[in-house]
Amino acid sequence: MTRKKFFNADNLLIAIALVSIIALVFTLVSVSQKMTTETLDEASHAINTQYQKLDNLLNLQLYGQKRNIKLSLMLLLDDAFAKDAARMEFYQDASNFIKYRDQLANIIDESEEDWYQRLKSLANQAEPLQNEVAELALSGRIEQGKDLLANEGMLQLDAFGQNIEDFSQFQAQQTHQLIKQARHNIDNTMQKIILLATLLVLVSFFFAYLLAHRFHLINLRLKSANDTLEKEVENRTQRLTQAQTDLLEKNRILEHLSTTDALTQLHNRLKIERILETLQFRYETEQRLYTILFIDIDFFKAINDSFGHHTGDLVLKDMAHCLSHTFTDNCHIGRWGGEEFIVILEEIDAHQAVLLAEECRQKIEAHDFPVNRPLTVSIGLATIEHGETTSEVIHLADTALYESKHAGRNRVTIYAKET
């Protein structure tokens, strides 16, 4: 009788329902674990791919910078072996650049194709220019190479760096979005599972506790993974920002080196020629006068022969100091070559220019140079007139300088046209 009551239809249905609930609970746990693992694996794979893209982008920018730095060394170094080593590193950096570019091409998706094509187009534009600068450096055309690198190479590198920075920021945003989406997917999965589990485990708080505990562990794993990924993204972003800052600083140094005479710290010939182009344009459009002074140290070769080139260098530095303290307003001072200096005076007529030149000559004659003899200079000057070009004014000032030397040196001569 007892057995019949125990195995009646109600008890059997209850037993079947209980077993079914238990089976469904364990099935639910198994499925939830699989879904969570798959979601984490997919998110991890996508995020790892994003980090590979960021890594390739960082290396593209670094090797692009290194190629320009090696070009700068090839243009600035005098030692043939050091220049050759820079050349070899320049071409090795090109191989590394291509390697990381190809790696990036293999992992980008369709939404990033336009970004990649823009980077590839900029790289294709920069490569011939960099090779041309390298050829100029190897053929000894240093000033032409410096000018090409400073005027066009740096602009292309800046544009390339800006595109990489924009692409990197886009990648960082994509990574944050992937992390957010992964969390959202896990949260949705957890919410659905918890809802179903709650409905199924109403008959047993024990089963509910087991499921809640399991899901809590899963959430902890996801939070830990998310925190790690966010820190890694922040570190990568900081490194990329620092690399961009370093590149800008190196560009500033390169610009200074390419336009400054290393010994006297005055403008070099390339910088002076750029200034003259600007002043010539102002004269032609606004009739703003300018005057060119050529200043040459008298008997400078004798100083080098008697006291050595080191003392000669000290004399050139002192001369630059004297010129900088004599010509202070609306002027540009540079070293034209050897012991010859050039001063460009803006918006000043020939008479005023002669007075300033004579004042300069007297100051230099009275200056105590690091040699046991007085030093003098010969000065020739010419003022721009209607119809003249920059080259013609330079020639006229040089002719006036020759006349100063021919007349006995230590004097100022202004070019006067024959009438």
Of the CA atoms within 13 Å of residue 51, those in its CB half-sphere come to 16
Instruction: Give how many domains the chain has, as a whole number.
Output: 2
Q: What is the pLDDT of residue 344?
A: 97
Query: How far is residue 268's CA from residue 262's CA, in Å, rounded to a whole number?
Result: 8
Which of 198, 213, 228 is the last residue before a domain boundary?
Answer: 213
The backbone region for 150, taken as left when phi is positive above 0, alpha when psi lies in -120 to 50, beta otherwise, is alpha
Burial 282-314 (b: 16+ CB within 10 A, else e): ebeeeeebbbbbbbbbbebeebeeebeeeebeb
Q: Are residues 157 and 283 in the same domain?
A: no
Instruction: Please indicate, yes or no, whether residues 275 and 205 belong to a single structural domain of this protein.
Output: no
Confirm whether 251 is domain-assigned. Answer: no
Same-domain check for residues 273 and 178: no
Note whether 157 and 281 are same-domain residues: no
Is 277 marked active-site?
Answer: no
Is the same domain home to 84 and 199?
Answer: yes
* CA angle 400–401–406, rounded 5-degree value: 95
Assign residue 296 the CATH number of its domain. Answer: 3.30.70.270
Same domain, 170 and 284: no
Q: For residue 268, what are its two tokens?
A: 């070099």
Averaged confidence pLDDT in the chain = 81
Residues in the chain predicted with pLDDT less than 70, given as ranges, are 1-14, 17, 153-154, 156-157, 160, 171, 193, 196-197, 200-201, 203-215, 251, 254-257, 417-419
Which amino acid would we find at residue 160?
F
Say what the pLDDT of residue 419 is.
40
Residue at 414: amino acid letter: I
Whether residue 138 lies inside any domain: the answer is: yes
Among 196, 213, 230, the domain boundary falls at: 213
Bridge partner list, 294 = 342, 380
226 belongs to a structural domain: no
Six-digit token string for 141? 């055309």
Domain that holds residue 118: 9-213
CA–CA separation, 118 vs 115, rounded Å?
5
30 with 103, same domain: the answer is yes
The pLDDT of residue 104 is 79
For position 136, which CATH number holds?
Answer: 1.20.120.30
**Environment class of residue 336 by beta-carbon count within 10 Å: exposed (0-12), middle (13-18) or buried (19+)?**
buried
Residue 390 lies in a domain: yes
Per-residue model confidence (pLDDT) at position 304: 93
If asked whether residues 205 and 273 sit together in one domain, one would say no
* Residue-wise burial string across 230-267, b where 16 or more C-beta atoms lie within 10 A, e elsewhere: eeebeebbeebeebbeebeebbeebeeebbbbeebebb
CA distances from 86 to 63, 134, 154, 172 (A): 14, 10, 18, 34
Residue 241, in any domain of the structure: no
Euclidean distance between CA atoms 166 and 244, whole angstroms = 12
Check whether residue 184 and residue 295 sit in a common domain: no
Contact between residue 136 and residue 148 where contact means Cβ atoms under 8 Å apart: yes
Domain membership flag for residue 347: yes
The rounded distance, in Å, linking the Cα atoms of 177 and 183 is 10
User: Could you report the per-residue pLDDT of 188-240, keeping only the tens digit for each?
Assistant: 777 776 776 677 667 666 655 655 666 677 778 878 888 888 888 888 878 87
Instruction: Check if the beta carbon of residue 93 is closer than 8 Å to that of residue 70.
Output: yes
User: What single-letter amino acid sits at 415?
Assistant: Y
d(CA 380, CA 175): 67
User: Residue 220: inside a domain, yes or no?
Assistant: no
The rounded distance, in Å, linking the Cα atoms of 126 and 128 is 6
In a domain, 252, yes or no: no
The pLDDT, as a whole number, for residue 157 is 67
Question: Do 177 and 324 fall within a single domain?
Answer: no
**277, 339, 392, 403: which is the annotated catalytic residue?**
339
pLDDT of 410 reads 96
How many whole angstroms separate alpha carbon 355 and alpha carbon 218?
87
- Measured at the CA of 304, the angle between CA 302 and CA 307, to 5 degrees, comes to 100
The verdict on 278 and 200 lying in the same domain is no
pLDDT, position 17: 67
Q: Is residue 61 located within the same domain as residue 205?
A: yes
